[in-house]
A and B are shown apart, each in its own frame.
Chain A
Amino acid sequence: MITVTALKKNFGARTAVNQVSFEVEKGTVLGFLGPNGAGKTTTIRMIAGFLMPTEGSVTVLGHDVQADPVSAQRQIGYMPERTPLYEDMTVEGFLRFIAEVRGYRGAERTERADQAIRACMLDSVRHQVIDTLSKGYRQRTCLAQAILHDPPVLLLDEPTEGLDPNQKQVVREMIARMASEKVIIISTHVLEEVEAICNRVIIISNGSVVADGTPAALKQRSKHYNEVHLSLGSASGPAVKALSALDEVQRVEVVAERDTTCELRITPKQQAPVIAAVLKAVASHGWPVTNLKVDGGRLEEVFRQITRTEDAA
């Protein structure tokens, strides 16, 4: 549905986005990750047809965004980063204006605006002037504007930035509900959000794509992937000795130790699954296990690992 090909954007001598290419299909919730200033917003603005690329192209449902921005924009709902809104209008007036520009007339126009108000739970502020809204309501008004025409493509630039945890949850639930029949691209630097709602992640650093995969696949690149955390109700000595002897185990560390309890971190060789071997050892020695956890990898760490090496390069 969206094809981005060799996208490049120069601002003067600085290259903000360099050779970014990817394709996104329906049903994808793509998390667009990267440190601040990596080029996320610039890329999204080019997809939305606000900025013209220096080189490369973007097509949205077959419409070339550069050649025919209006046709492409009809397929897109876009929520810009700073949630710009016409401050002097009421929420309802603003959404009716958007509906009118989107081509709805008469009763349908009112109905579209009402639907968006309901979907984004803006009923209590519908007659309020946007200028007086709190951050959360502003954010939702901007989201309402983006989903008003039920577009097949949603571009959301940091949609939950500045929201409280409850509001974040509401927005995430909305996104999850729409996910199956749309393409949704979310730019964010909140990693928990990516894990919660995205089924694909692209990490961008210094203007280039440095990683592209599912959150699970990316997490496997974490050096902690498949580590086993084991808590025992006994001293650590015998357990460390026995576990270190296992073929699959690279290293056993004592994380904490008190008189009769200890906590161990078992690092496997080549991040291979080691839990089976550990369980076998536990059973044969009859250690009093109080807690056991396998590390699924940490996105945050992968993110840092990838973007930091890039920065150093």
Chain B
Amino acid sequence: MSSRTTIRAILKREWGAYFNSPIAYVFMVIFLVMAGFFPFAVSGLFEGGQATLRPFFFWHPWLYLILVPAVAMRLWSEERRSGTIELLLTIGVTPTQAVVAKFMAAWLFMMLTLALTFPVVLTLIYLGNPDLGVAFTGYLGSLLLAGAYLSVGLLTSAMTRNQVVSFILAVLVGLFLLLAGFPPVTELLSRWAPEWLVAVVAGFSFMPHFETMQRGILDLRDVVYFLSVIGFMLCATHEVLKSKAAEG
């Protein structure tokens, strides 16, 4: 049996698990309501008089900060709490396959949720003449950002059998990765810290990479950044699972 088919089988199960529970629907409704509410009500997408998606994407890092850990927290914690991890890892599945499959399932779920925000784009097309190229890089950036948050949540989920602990840890790590490059924070930092230090700290952050993509710039470095965050977190998850197998 090949690795791909094993991954697909687990991916399908995880995908089903979202829709077998209220998580999927609750998450989608909340995300879609908030993703629609903030840009129009708070950021004044209408009043701005510009057919741009920037007020829409502006809120994504903050929505993901709270909502993505809620999607990720059950991925391993639940398996560890109920003991199904013992089943999963003794039926010929490698930890790598399981980690990748679970991540992909959650990421596809995020992709579906994000795709359901299409009425926002349609509204803008109806109202004006938005730059669809910018919309595309915006969505791509948002998807990569969601993936990065997810990978953090996957790691914290592997570390504990308690979903609440997993959630809180994921929010904290996410908050750091978010704020480290947030302009108000970097400005504060740059008042006393040398330029290079600000750059290093900010370099860890999701924010600058997300920002450039919102401006419609598709820089390979940003894509590589997000993919390496994801890769790093998945490897760390794998190591955590392995050490749990050694410790018992």
Give complex CA distance A52, B91 in Å: 16
- State the Cβ distance, A75 to closest chain B Cβ, in Å: 9
Q: Chain B at the A interface: mostly helix, strand, loop or mixed? A: helix
Q: A80-B83, A88-B20 are in contact. Are A101 and B90 (CB under 8 A)?
A: no
Give complex CA distance A49, B85 in Å: 12
Q: A88-B20, A89-B20, A103-B1 are in contact. Are A70 and B82 (CB under 8 A)?
A: no
Asked if A89 and B91 sit within 8 Å, CB to CB, the answer is: no
Asked if A85 and B87 sit within 8 Å, CB to CB, the answer is: yes
In the complex, how many residues of chain B place their beta carbon closer than 8 angstroms to a beta carbon of chain A?
Answer: 27
Q: Which residue of B lies closest to A73 (CB)?
A: B92
- State the Cβ distance, A145 to closest chain B Cβ, in Å: 7
Q: Which residue of B lies closest to A47 (CB)?
A: B90
Tell me if B10 counts as interface (CB < 8 A to partner A).
yes
Tell me if A97 counts as interface (CB < 8 A to partner B).
yes
Give complex CA distance A102, B91 in Å: 7
Tell me if A100 counts as interface (CB < 8 A to partner B).
yes
Asked if B17 and A86 sit within 8 Å, CB to CB, the answer is: yes
Asked if B17 and A88 sit within 8 Å, CB to CB, the answer is: yes
Asked if B20 and A101 sit within 8 Å, CB to CB, the answer is: no
Asked if A11 and B17 sit within 8 Å, CB to CB, the answer is: no
Tell me if B26 counts as interface (CB < 8 A to partner A).
no
Residue from A52, A78, A88, A100 within 8 A of B9 (CB atoms)? A100
In the complex, how many residues of chain A place their beta carbon closer than 8 angstroms to a beta carbon of chain B?
Answer: 33
Tell me if A22 counts as interface (CB < 8 A to partner B).
no
Residues of B within 8 A of A73 (CB): 90-92
Tell me if B246 counts as interface (CB < 8 A to partner A).
yes
Tell me if B47 counts as interface (CB < 8 A to partner A).
no
Q: Which residue of A lies closest to B9 (CB)?
A: A100
- State the Cβ distance, A156 to closest chain B Cβ, in Å: 13
Count: A-B pairs, CB below 8 Å: 81
Tell me if B228 counts as interface (CB < 8 A to partner A).
no
Q: A51-B245, A52-B246 are in contact. Are A45 and B86 (CB under 8 A)?
A: yes
- State the Cβ distance, A252 to closest chain B Cβ, in Å: 53
Proximity string of chain A (56-90) to chain B, C-beta cutoff 8 Å, 1 when within and 0 when not:
00000000000001100110101010101111110
Tell me if A42 counts as interface (CB < 8 A to partner B).
yes
Q: A51-B248, A100-B5, A103-B5 are in contact. Are A86 and B84 (CB under 8 A)?
A: yes
Proximity string of chain B (1-44) to chain A, C-beta cutoff 8 Å, 1 when within and 0 when not:
10001100110110011001100000000000000000000000
Q: A49-B90, A98-B91, A103-B1 are in contact. Are A84 and B20 (CB under 8 A)?
A: no
Residues of B within 8 A of A87 (CB): 82
Tell me if B93 counts as interface (CB < 8 A to partner A).
yes
Residue from A51, A74, A84, A145 within 8 A of B83 (CB atoms)? A84
Q: A42-B248, A51-B245, A97-B13 are in contact. Are A74 and B84 (CB under 8 A)?
A: no
Proximity string of chain B (155-180) to chain A, C-beta cutoff 8 Å, 1 when within and 0 when not:
00000000000000000000000000
Asked if A50 and B5 sit within 8 Å, CB to CB, the answer is: no
Tell me if A9 counts as interface (CB < 8 A to partner B).
yes
Proximity string of chain A (118-155) to chain B, C-beta cutoff 8 Å, 1 when within and 0 when not:
00000000000000000000000000010000000000
Give complex CA distance A206, B92 in Å: 30
Asked if B248 and A84 sit within 8 Å, CB to CB, the answer is: no
Tell me if B89 counts as interface (CB < 8 A to partner A).
yes
Tell me if A48 counts as interface (CB < 8 A to partner B).
yes
A48-B90, A85-B84, A89-B16 given; 18 more Cβ-contact pairs under 8 Å = A11-B248, A45-B248, A49-B90, A52-B246, A70-B93, A73-B90, A73-B91, A80-B87, A86-B84, A87-B82, A88-B16, A88-B21, A93-B16, A97-B9, A98-B91, A103-B1, A103-B5, A145-B87
User: Can you list 6 A-B pairs with a CB-CB distance of less than 8 A?
Assistant: A49-B89, A51-B246, A85-B87, A86-B13, A101-B6, A102-B92
